[in-house]
Amino acid sequence: METSVGMLALTSPSITVAWTRTCGNLRSWEQQEVTWTCSRSSAPPGSITTSSKSISSSSDWKRTNSDAAKIRAIEKSVVPWVRDGDVPFCPDCGTKFNLRNRRHHCRLCGSIMCRKCVEFVPLPLAQKLINGTREALSFAGSRSQSQSPSGVGSRRGSVSSMSSVTSVIDDKDDEKIRCCRHCTDTLRKKQHKLDDKDFVPDIVKLYERLRMCMDKVDEKAPEYIRMAESLNAGETTYNLDTAGGLRLEVQKYYELIDALSKKILTLGVKNDPQPHPKALQLQRMVRYSATLFVQEKLLGLMSLPTKEKYEELKENRKRQQEMRLQQERLAAQEVVTRNRPAASSNGEPPLAPRAVSMTKAGGWLPSPDSSGHVRRALDDPLLQQIENIRSFLRQAREASRTDEATMLEENLRQLQDEYDRRQTDLALALSQKLAEEENERQGELRRLEAWERAENKRGSPTQQADFDHVSPDASSLAEEFPPANADGHGNLPCDEASTPVEEDPSNPFCEDIKRERMEAASEKREYNPFDEDDTQNDCVPSNPFEEEEEHDNADSGNPFAEEDERDDNMGSRNPFAECSKAGSSTNPFDCDDDDNVDLIEEELLLQQIDNIRAYIFDAKLSGRTDEVELLAENLRELQQALREHKKNEL
Amino acid sequence: MNVTLAVKQYISKMIESSGAGMKVLLMDKETTSIVSVVYTQSEILQKEVYLFERIDSQSRESMKHLKAICFLRPTKENVEHLIQELRRPKYSVYFIYFSNVISKSEIKALAEADEQEVVAEVQEFYGDFIAVNPHVFSLNLQGVAKGRSWDPSVLWRCTQGLTSVLLALKKCPMIRYQLSSDMSKRLAENVKQIITKEYELFDFRKTEVPPLLLILDRSDDAITPLLNQWTYQAMVHELLGINNNRIDLSRVPGISKDLREVVLSAENDEFYANNLYLNFGEIGTNIKNLMEDFQKKRPKGQQKLESISDMKAFVDNYPQFKKMSGTVSKHVTVVGELSRLVAERQLMEVSEVEQELACQNDHSSAQQNVRRLLQNPRVSEMDAVRLVALYALRYERHSASILPALMEQLTRRGVSEARRRMVQCVVEYGGKRVRGSDLITPTDAVAITKQFFKGLKGVENVYAQHQPLLHDTLDQLIKGRLKDSQFPYLGASSLRDRPQDVIVFVIGGATYEEALCVYNMNRSTPGVRIVLGGSSMLNTKSFLEEVMSSTSSGGERSQGISRYSNRH
């Protein structure tokens, strides 16, 4: 059969070279023919046959002297020179060779040409190409290499030849390599390629930073969530301040991701020759995926309790644990009394005196002191039980009865779990009630807004855009603007009960907002709570810088809107779009690519606004006014953009 | 034996092996479908693939900061495009994956074009089919049979598709084919040839019981694709048409802009995954439950959700809600449209008669019912034709056949000549003369008694009486009772034990009713895993087109028709 197992090894004309200096003026180089290997994987990935890697015809030679004749010999040994007699005419221009018009050999491929057709490769360029190719080889080392049957293929423009030639001439006067036109062409191409590699476009720089931030978030966010969960449960495993610090850090990364992706989105938009539509599409897709990322992760980021709240939580937990212990103790007591009917019948007092009697043979009872004290504080039977068990446990430990202690511990844990469960149930019920109330309010609000908007349309359409219906709370926002993904796969969990931010009843800000919104709605006037916040915070409504920003944004043309228009033009060049237009093959992508671009744009904006609001909210909570200012500015910018966008759409 | 998973793994492997950095996915028309059926855009975005391009697209810009992942079928055109691309590379590195076996000479041509050394990897990843469901694949080929024989290019594509399924599932099967069909024999031989030629590729770990490839011909069961369906996936395909998981709703009256075209993919849509095989009534209940769940959260739920149209109104009235539940609104729209069509076309009555025709043996009642429905002006032209076609197939040789009268009735209804000819074509395509199996009247005693008892018991659901012929065939196959005289083995060896892993391929296309049937068999028979494939996924419309192109009388004209209707 023709095909060899698992791979096809084929010669290719491409030759890459690695050369290494071994010592002093001794150089050895090895030449590798890099060929393609077609490896076949007949199974789902994982079982791909990796092709063998081998190095072919490696020839080493050493040079000790740079004597002219020897150089010539070496040059000839690099590449077999075409015999003079074989070529009566210059192959490139066709002039006859004679005594005047002498033959010249290309040092790289060995072919013959006349003086007019000779070209020279300057040494620095040669050096650069050699170094560049060596790097390329280190990359190529990772791919399949295979033996080639013969080392001689077309050597046109071969860097390997050049490297050996340069090694000879480096100390001579003429710092260039004589070679033919064809070889220089190839070399020039190679040079372009190397240049391309060195040139890193802005988008790549930004993108690399973006990915770094995403990796960091992936790393830190789970850690934070673990901390926040533990803290919200009132545990003392983690420190509130460290968690706060981590939260800040994660949020910083989100801001960074956001800023970076925004920068990517607007790259080159203001340049005069507009970037290629494909480039813009790429930028938009990067931005879109970054937004999806932020949205997905940010929603999972629960808030931390405030200091007072945390104290309260800790207190609660302590109490719960105590209660549980007591109950467990009671249960144990029952067990004990049941187990020791004989002892009590003996007339031994079931209640131990103040000093608890601890005999190794007998059990123990709750010490009357502690239980009495606790009982006053706790009336939940579960908690009492927990408290009881705790004291048993203490006694068991003191009596160093480890098996019993472990049993009690087990018992204690069960009780605690049970209690926790009940508490969470209670909390859930409470939060559901709250959520329902909230829903009701929002529903009313929305209806009012809808009515109001209708009014506005009839009245003055120039009035401020309808941002007022965007509720300022991050999570409720998310609820209002989930990704309008018709596919349904992008739906984020927007369960109100799952986000503590919203329903946290102790959150004064939240209440404020609600009140404000209610006011806004009932008074039926344009009233954006965030605008007010801004003025409160920076107190300089006529900040010239801000003005400029807005102005700039307005007349430079909103990038989103522009892209929209452009997208229409290029839509037809998109393969997905193409096939949808041809109608022969439709696929789920093009709907996203094509129809939803408007949606994506608007969605992006809205998502961004959500995010920023969440940041503001957070910044306010932690009292970082300078940040609030900055963010507020950002927010206004975005709102402006959205308004522009909407206008354009109309 | 999960085709969806196999393709998904191939693609994620492709993307992973290119490392970090921004990527572009270069595909051809067919691989675009292959990829898009198993992955959504946002899933691929997460893997840093930001652009999707066609290899034949001229407007691509040079972007040296992107890595290119090429997933292409090994066709001549693609190799030519790739050679052009490599001569003037637009991206920094190329990772090339062919969806099937590629020849040595083409690799050589590519290697020679790679002057700038941009190719990092060339591999064959055998994902050369469209994974419709985990146990169903399709090749999206229309007009397979031309006058009962293979078009060479289509035969080659089918062979490629089938061998790639075998490679992806790591099966080197024994092959059985339907004796009555010459086409299945040809295909079986071609597949065998490839297996022999590429024997190294098919050198898998031997299993105790070798897997089995069964090749069937649609013409053996022309009834199944003519029936109305009542399970979700099948019904959507029958009434709306599923094309690579997408459903065109643009003709739905009053449809909103973002629902003109929706994607139904069990991979990403939990509701769809759960309701794929449930019948229409159950889906209605499920949707209602879902909506009521949402409604509970809303204030002042005065309005009751009694009917599907109520639900639609409810969703329309709450734009916020609509956004919140993209999936739900999608399904409400789809189910709403289905129920509208069912009511408008009186599909309940039509389906009842269809089922009676397909499953009962009472000629006088059947002919009365068909006559009655043909007189009903609300029954659509298509349904009228399909009823007559079913009657013609079922009572082809009946002494008291009223087919001429029915055809006359069709003419009176104003049914076009082309449509009327379809009845004749269906009989020609799947009539008694052609069939190898006993589709209609069972001949052996066991089957006759079975049918007799079925008649005594009565039916649970009048709309789901029909069992496709495939069910019986597979049932016999699993029990080791499938007759060698009807379904011979290719080659000398034959299977001693009962088969465990079975791949069934239907030339001319499979239906979703059969997909459901295979799904149920996989669940009910432990140890047996069946994968169903077809040259396409059929509904009545596409089946009739297939029939027209295959029967000689349909000829060239219907080919034009099918091409035209494909575009819609």
Q: What is the DSSP string of B143-154?
A: S-EETTEE-HHH
Radius of gyration of chain B (CA): 25
Question: Which among B33, B268, B299 has the least Cβ separation from residue A439?
Answer: B299
pLDDT class of B183 with cuts at 50, 70, 90: very high
Query: Parallel, antiparallel, or unpaired: how do β-strands B212-217 and B501-507 relate?
Result: parallel
Q: Cα(B233)–Cα(A474) distance, rounded to whole angstroms?
A: 38
Residue A115, chain B, CB below 8 Å: the answer is no
In the 3-class helix/strand/coil scheme, how is B421-464 assigned residue by residue? HHHHHHHHHHCCCCCCCCCCCCCCHHHHHHHHHHHHHCCCCHHH
Q: Report which of residues A263 and A42 the model is more confident about.
A: A263
Say if residue A498's pLDDT is above 50. Answer: no
CB-based contact A487 B265, cutoff 8 Å: yes
Q: pLDDT band at A122, cuts 50/70/90?
A: confident
Q: Which of A20, A18, A25 is nearest to A63 (CA)?
A: A25
pLDDT at B507: 93
Mean pLDDT of B256-270: 82
* Spatial separation of the C-alpha atoms in residues B426 and B428, rounded to whole Å: 5
pLDDT of B18 reads 87
**Three-class SS state of B129:** coil
| Sign of the torsion formed by the C-alpha atoms of A489, A495, A500 and A506 | positive
Note the pLDDT of residue B390. 92
Tokens of A161: 């030849």
Put residue A432 in one of left, alpha, beta given phi > 0 → left and psi -120 to 50 → alpha. alpha
Q: Do B258 and A596 touch (CB under 8 A)?
A: yes
Q: What percent of chain A has pLDDT over 90?
A: 0
**For residues A238 and A31, which has the higher predicted lDDT (pLDDT)?**
A238
CB B555 within 8 A of CB B146: no
A179/A156 Cα distance (integer angstroms): 10
Say if residue A540's pLDDT is above 90: no
Looking at residue B195, its pLDDT comes to 92
Kindly tell me the burial class for residue B563, based on how many C-beta atoms sit within 10 Å of its own C-beta (0-12, 13-18, 19 or more): middle
Q: Tell me whether residues A487 and B121 touch, CB distance under 8 A.
A: no
Over the stretch A448-495, which tens digit does the pLDDT of each residue have? 666 666 655 544 433 333 333 333 333 333 333 333 333 333 333 333
Which has the higher per-residue pLDDT, B226 or A121?
B226
- Please give the pLDDT value at position A571: 36
Instruction: Name the CA dihedral angle for A288, A289, A294, A296, rounded to a multiple of 10 degrees.
Output: 110
Higher pLDDT: A303 or A409? It is A409
Most trustworthy range by pLDDT among A164-173, B5-14, B452-461: B5-14
pLDDT at position A575 is 38
Chain A closest CA to B134's CA: distance in Å?
Answer: 15
Is residue A181 very low, low, confident or very high in pLDDT (cuts 50, 70, 90)?
A: confident
Distance CA B367, CA B404 (A): 12
Report whether pLDDT(A534) > 70.
Answer: no
pLDDT in tens, B154-164: 999 999 999 99
> What pLDDT, on the 0 to 100 scale, is given for residue B233?
92
Average of per-residue pLDDT across A49-65: 30
What is the rounded average pLDDT for all residues in chain B? 84
Judge: A585–B263 Cβ closer than 8 Å, yes or no: no
- Top residue of B263, B325, B330, B563 to mutate, by most chain A CBs within 10 Å, is B263
Q: What distance in Å separates residue A198's CA from the closest CA in chain B? A: 11
Distances (CA, A) of B544 to A391, A518, B14, B427: 82, 62, 39, 11
Distance CA(B422)–CA(B381), nearest Å, equals 12
Find the closest chain B residue to A591 by CA distance: B261
Q: Find the CB nearest B61 among A35, A278, A588.
A: A278
Q: What's residue A362's pLDDT?
A: 35
Q: Which residues contact A143 (CB under 8 A, 6 or more apart)?
A: A34, B120, B121
Residues of B within 8 A of A201 (CB-CB) are 64-65
Q: In which residue are the tokens 């005419």 written?
A: A89
Phi and psi at A80, nearest 5°, equal -65, 125
Q: Please choose, from the candidates A365, A497, A343, the residue with its C-alpha nearest in 3D space to the C-alpha of residue A431.
A: A497
Number of other CB atoms surrounding residue A460 within 10 Å:
8
Q: For B300, left (φ over 0), alpha (ψ -120 to 50), or beta? A: left
Q: Do residues B504 and B214 touch, judged by C-beta distance below 8 A?
A: yes
Average pLDDT, chain A: 60
Strands B529-534 and B501-507: parallel
What is the per-residue pLDDT across A340-395, written as a single tens digit (0 to 9) for each? Answer: 544 444 444 444 334 333 333 333 344 333 333 434 444 566 777 777 777 777 77
Alpha carbon distance A305, A228 (integer Å): 8
Which chain A residue is nearest to residue B114, measuring alpha carbons?
Answer: A14
Task: Calculate mean pLDDT across residues B313-318.
Answer: 56
Q: DSSP 3-state assignment of B189?
A: helix
Task: For the beta carbon of residue A81, count every other beta carbon within 10 angstroms.
Answer: 18
DSSP labels for A101-141?
Answer: S--EE-TTT--EE-TTT-EEEEHHHHHHHHHHHHHHHHHHT
Say whether B244 and A585 touch across the interface (CB within 8 A): yes
Q: Per residue in A433-454, pLDDT tens?
A: 777 776 776 776 777 666 666 6
**pLDDT surpassing 50 at residue A120:** yes
A positions 291-320 inside 8 Å of B (CB): 292
- Mean pLDDT for the stretch of residues B28-52: 90
Nearest chain A Cα distance for residue B108, angstroms: 7
| Max mean pLDDT range (A517-526, B266-275, B464-473) | B464-473
Q: What would the 3-class secondary structure string for A267-311 be?
A: CCCCCCCCCCHHHHHHHHHHHHHHHHHHHHHHHHCCCCCCHHHHH
B249 pLDDT more than 60 = yes
What b/e sequence results for A178-198 when a residue is b if at least 16 CB atoms lie within 10 Å of its CB, and e otherwise? bbbebbbebbeebbebbeeee
| B268 pLDDT above the threshold of 70 | yes
Residue A415 has pLDDT above 90, yes or no: no
Whole-angstrom Cα distance, residue A483 to residue A478?
A: 9
Give the confidence band of A57 by pLDDT, cuts at 50, 70, 90: very low
pLDDT (average), residues A530-535: 40
Of A261 and B297, the structure prediction assigns the larger pLDDT to: A261
